[in-house]
């Protein structure tokens, strides 16, 4: 049961967290310098610079300082930028492609690009969109898990309630005519006046409520064992009769029996 529950929750959580598609997005140069976007943590992204001649460069030690995008460039081949990352291309999700004007680029020397030098910026998601996606996934996963747990807990409680009702119904159907085991033992007779008062309390009060029916079912289940124990040991029989006398007196007074 525990393994099954764990697998259900794991599947729900993984399903909720695996729906993000990494679509390529085209942005203006301002996004590089926005403190809430790439400028916040540039070390987390893989920057590539592309010039108008079709050459591509890998950026190293990239930063945004004094209103300029600064990086050390090394020429290298870059795979074409897809519209959306396919399965197996998730490793490219942190790529940021910066397309620049006809600026003179020197390799292995730190280059600086002002906003006016940048034509556009292409990425597979911005920091803000990734944060919103993670937040949305977390909320979705939380709702899914809570919903699953609620269904399971509700099913268990409903099962307990159903079983209790069935047991109570069986007790009423098949055991309703039996005597009060403990009371009969205490007073020595099924027809003792005190036993009749207790049976009346069972039939007119307890059977009319769910809690009362559950009590009756448990009473018939366990009282025979208690009776055998008391009779075998002789322990507490007088004490039980004293307590029953007080309870019977209260019932007679309260209900005018």
- Of 92, 107, 125, the residue that ends a domain is 125
pLDDT at 141: 57
- CB distance 132 to 163 below 8 Å: no
- CB distance 18 to 119 below 8 Å: no
The answer to whether residue 142 sits within a structural domain is: no
Helix axes 210-233, 237-255, angle to 10 degrees: 150
Same domain flag for 23 and 105: yes
Residue corresponding to tokens 């590539």: 48
Same domain flag for 62 and 119: yes
How far apart are the C-alpha atoms of 69 and 62, rounded to whole Å? 7
Q: What percent of the chain has pLDDT over 90?
A: 12
Q: Looking at per-residue confidence, does 181 or 193 come out higher? A: 193
- What does 8-40 look like in DSSP terms, one character per residue? HHHHHHHHHTS----B-EEE-THHHH-TTTTTT
Lowest mean pLDDT among 57-61, 219-223, 251-255: 219-223
> What would the pLDDT profile of 70-99 be if each residue is shown by its tens digit?
999 998 888 888 888 888 888 898 999 999
The answer to whether residue 25 sits within a structural domain is: yes
pLDDT at 243: 81
Same domain flag for 178 and 119: no
The answer to whether residue 168 sits within a structural domain is: no
- Of 64, 98, 125, the residue that ends a domain is 125
Same domain flag for 113 and 202: no
Q: Looking at per-residue confidence, does 106 or 172 come out higher? A: 106
Model confidence band, residue 127 (pLDDT cutoffs 50, 70, 90): confident
The answer to whether residue 2 sits within a structural domain is: no
The answer to whether residue 149 sits within a structural domain is: no
pLDDT at 162: 55
Same domain flag for 41 and 111: yes
pLDDT at 169: 44
Same domain flag for 92 and 184: no
Q: Looking at per-residue confidence, does 89 or 139 come out higher? A: 89
pLDDT at 72: 93
| pLDDT of 8 above 50 | no
Same domain flag for 117 and 183: no
pLDDT at 168: 45
CB atoms inside a 10 Å sphere around CB 76: 10
pLDDT at 9: 46
> What would the pLDDT profile of 140-170 be if each residue is shown by its tens digit?
556 667 777 888 887 787 667 556 544 444 4
- CB distance 60 to 74 below 8 Å: yes
**For the chain, what is the mean pLDDT?**
76
> Does the reported pTM lie above 0.75?
no
Model confidence band, residue 181 (pLDDT cutoffs 50, 70, 90): low
pLDDT at 121: 92
When divided into structural domains, the chain yields a total of: 2
The answer to whether residue 112 sits within a structural domain is: yes
How far apart are the C-alpha atoms of 71 and 30, rounded to whole Å? 17
Model confidence band, residue 2 (pLDDT cutoffs 50, 70, 90): very low
Q: What percent of the chain has pLDDT over 70?
A: 69
- Of 109, 125, 141, the residue that ends a domain is 125
pLDDT at 96: 93
Lowest mean pLDDT among 2-11, 35-44, 154-163: 2-11
Picking from 10, 5, 13, 7, the residue whose alpha carbon sits closest to that of residue 137 is: 13
Token output for 134: 């993670």
Q: Looking at per-residue confidence, does 212 or 177 come out higher? A: 212
The answer to whether residue 37 sits within a structural domain is: yes
Over residues 163-190, the mean pLDDT reads 56
Looking at the chain, the number of H-run helices and the number of E-run strands are 7, 7
The answer to whether residue 147 sits within a structural domain is: no
The CA–CA distances, whole Å, from 101 to 54, 96, 160, 183 equal: 11, 17, 73, 100
Which residues form the domain of 89?
A: 19-125
- CB distance 108 to 73 below 8 Å: yes
């Amino acid at each position: 049961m525990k393994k099954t529950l764990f697998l259900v929750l794991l599947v729900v959580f993984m399903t909720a967290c695996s729906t993000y598609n990494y679509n390529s997005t085209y942005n203006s140069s301002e996004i590089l310098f926005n403190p809430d976007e790439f400028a916040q943590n540039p070390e987390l992204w893989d920057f590539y610079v592309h010039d108008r001649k079709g050459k591509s460069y890998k950026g190293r030690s990239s930063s945004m300082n004094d209103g300029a995008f600064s990086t050390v460039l090394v020429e290298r081949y870059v795979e074409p930028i897809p519209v959306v990352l396919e399965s197996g291309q998730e490793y490219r999700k942190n790529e940021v492609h910066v397309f620049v004007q006809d600026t003179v680029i020197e390799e292995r020397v730190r280059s600086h690009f002002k906003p006016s030098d940048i034509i556009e910026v292409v990425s597979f998601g911005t920091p803000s969109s990734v944060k919103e996606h993670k937040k949305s996934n977390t909320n979705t996963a939380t709702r899914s898990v809570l919903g699953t747990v609620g269904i399971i807990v509700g099913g268990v409680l409903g099962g307990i309630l159903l079983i209790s009702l069935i047991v109570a119904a069986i007790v009423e159907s098949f055991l309703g005519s039996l005597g009060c085991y403990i009371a009969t033992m205490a007073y020595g007779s099924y027809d003792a006046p005190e036993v009749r008062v207790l049976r009346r309390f069972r039939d007119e009060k307890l059977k009319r409520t769910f809690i009362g029916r559950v009590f009756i079912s448990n009473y018939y289940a366990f009282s025979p064992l208690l009776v055998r124990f008391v009779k075998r040991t002789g322990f507490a029989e007088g004490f039980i009769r004293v307590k029953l006398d007080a309870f019977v007196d209260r019932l007679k007074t309260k209900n005018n029996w």
